[in-house]
Amino acid sequence: MADNKILVIDDEEDILELVRYNLAREGYRVVCAASGEQSLNKAGSEPFDLIVLDLMLPGIDGLEVAKRLKNKPETRHIPIIMLTAKGEEADIVTGLELGADDYVTKPFSPRILIARVKAVIRRNLQEEVDDSSIIQIYELEIDPGKRKVLAKGSHVELTFTEFQVLYLLARRPGWVFTRFKIVDSIRGDDYPVTDRSVDVQIVGLRKKLGPYGKYIETVRGVGYRFREI
């Protein structure tokens, strides 16, 4: 963990120090930024393994920061955990659609934040290099080792979570996964499950897969499945 460097972005000094202190105590190297402008400069000038991003920032807000980071090749791979105020469901959904990996609502427990940080970094670093695990189904090729998806030979750019959902469903065509099971499989059983958060990922997946999004079927009142061969 000591080699992992985290950028923490928050304009509230006490929260910034709280997050910095707890992450440093866990052995992470922490860099802080108090504005959107400052955070974009730092993220573009040095490598980071994770970004903890407050959405309520003066000037360039957190959602715009996330959008710009995900649109730049040099920073788009960095996972983002959003810090949000309770009741900001619309912003949470927007953040997830932009490519954020997780969120924690304020006020938050440092222990929960640390657990989320560890989980996101672990997922981001985890690689499955067994070539035999490549899935070829219909016109799709899913390579978990390279985290690459081809649709009829064309590359499909997915977020970490979108890839995990697609891989989970495609491994067992015809099997119905509840929303709880999807979240539990890709984020862990301590993640606050909401129908909305899962549905957002499915909508994003279908949109990016284009005509091949039809392979992801909705089972009304239950969850989702990948069309059986």
Tell me, what's the pLDDT at 194? 60
Strand 223-226 relative to strand 177-178, pairing: antiparallel
Tell me, what's the pLDDT at 58? 87
- Look up the domain containing 140 and give its range: 131-226
Tell me the per-residue pLDDT of 163-214, one tens digit each, with 9 for 90 and over. Answer: 989 998 998 888 888 887 787 777 654 555 466 778 888 999 999 999 999 9
CATH of the domain at 216: 1.10.10.10
Place of tokens 């657990």: 115
118 and 162 co-located in one domain: no
Q: Is 51:6 a contact under the CB 8 Å cutoff? A: yes
80 and 44 co-located in one domain: yes
> What tokens does 112 get?
């929960």
50 and 143 co-located in one domain: no
What's the pTM?
0.61
Tell me the per-residue pLDDT of 80-100, one tens digit each, with 9 for 90 and over. Answer: 999 988 666 788 888 887 888
CA distance 28 to 191: 22
Tell me the per-residue pLDDT of 116-170, one tens digit each, with 9 for 90 and over. Answer: 898 888 766 654 444 457 899 889 999 988 889 999 999 999 988 889 899 989 9
19 and 110 co-located in one domain: yes
Among residues 67, 102, 125, the one where a domain terminates is 125
The per-residue pLDDT of the chain, averaged, comes to 86
Closest CA to 56 of 66, 42, 43, 47: 66
Tell me, what's the pLDDT at 134? 86
- Going from the C-alpha of 39 to that of each of 5, 20, 35, 89, the distances in angstroms are 14, 15, 6, 24
- Going from the C-alpha of 55 to that of each of 50, 62, 119, 158, 163, the distances in angstroms are 16, 4, 21, 22, 24
Tell me, what's the pLDDT at 6? 96
Structural domain count of the chain: 2
> What tokens does 82 get?
């959003």
Per-residue pLDDT at 36 exceeds 80: yes
Radius of gyration in angstroms for the set of CA atoms belonging to the chain, rounded to a whole number: 18
60 and 36 co-located in one domain: yes
152 and 188 co-located in one domain: yes
> What tokens does 61 get?
């807000």
